[in-house]
Amino acid sequence: MNVSIIIPIYNPDRKILKEIDRSLKNQKFSGKVEIIKVDKGLGLADSFNYGIKKAKYPIIVTLHQDCIPTSNDWLKKLVEPLKKKEMICSISQVELPYKLWNKFDIIAKILSVKEQKVLVSFEKASAYKKSALLKIGLFDGKKFRTAGEDCDLHIKLEEIKNFTEAFPQTKVLHYHPHKGYTRFKKEYQLSNGFGALVRIYGSKNPGWYIGLIKSIPIIGWPVFLTSINIKKLGIRASLLAIPLYLLVNFIYSYGFWKGFIAKKQQV
């Protein structure tokens, strides 16, 4: 199978990019591979769309500029399930490295501790059949520029008859540094995208009811408190997290309802 790997570029860490290039170069993969780096000043969704339209191979791999594959057989394992006719997408695991997270300032550590586990992301490091992406009209760059575009894409893919996806044992390390103020902005951005998703898809969107509860000031506060990890944060940071998450609750509420009312992600 031949693969086109699309990497949107925006103010990247050049050292991380070099590590990604090195990892991709060392992949044990028998098919042909083209790497398309999109540095056009577009939003994330439109950058992926630009690359997909340029891609010459039938398998599309989306990869973020800060995600490094953890093994030399990452690409092989990721793409392998797509040999089956019914399989449409294959999704890699994503992990924020502990060594990176442990260097964050205290606020950034508190707000990103929920990412200190292996997660599934529909876009950061995934493989798709190009035909399926074209069928649903690609990413929606008009409604989701930089947040929510992955869930929007996945919901539309699920509507394809006999939709099937794979979760192979592959992983990338997500080297996304945070500072306290940038993490607040990220919470605002993500909630804005999620509000738009709930408005557009309602109960079709996974976790919509949790997001709705989180969007209510004060009432949604306890949901945020469930993210506190005393073992990793320690007692002092965990106590600080209690009032901090109240602030996040208000930020989330503002972003969510702004996206919900506008029916699009604006931040």
pLDDT for res 122 = 87
Domain boundaries along the sequence of the chain: 1-93+119-176, 179-267
CB half-sphere exposure, 124, CA atoms < 13 A = 21
pLDDT digits (tens, 9 = 90+) for 216-251: 999 999 999 999 999 999 999 999 999 999 999 999
Domain 1-93+119-176: top CATH class: alpha beta
pTM over 0.85: yes
pLDDT for res 206 = 87
For the chain, where are the alpha helices, taking DSSP H only? 14-25, 44-54, 74-79, 98-101, 106-112, 130-135, 149-158, 180-201, 208-214, 221-225, 230-262
Q: Could you tell me which of 112, 106, 241 has the C-alpha nearest to residue 176?
A: 112
pLDDT for res 118 = 86
Report phi then psi at 98, rounded to 5.
Answer: -60, -40
Whether residue 167 has pLDDT greater than 90: yes
Share the mean pLDDT of the chain: 95
pLDDT for res 213 = 97
Q: Could you tell me which of 2, 157, 154 has the C-alpha nearest to residue 75?
A: 2
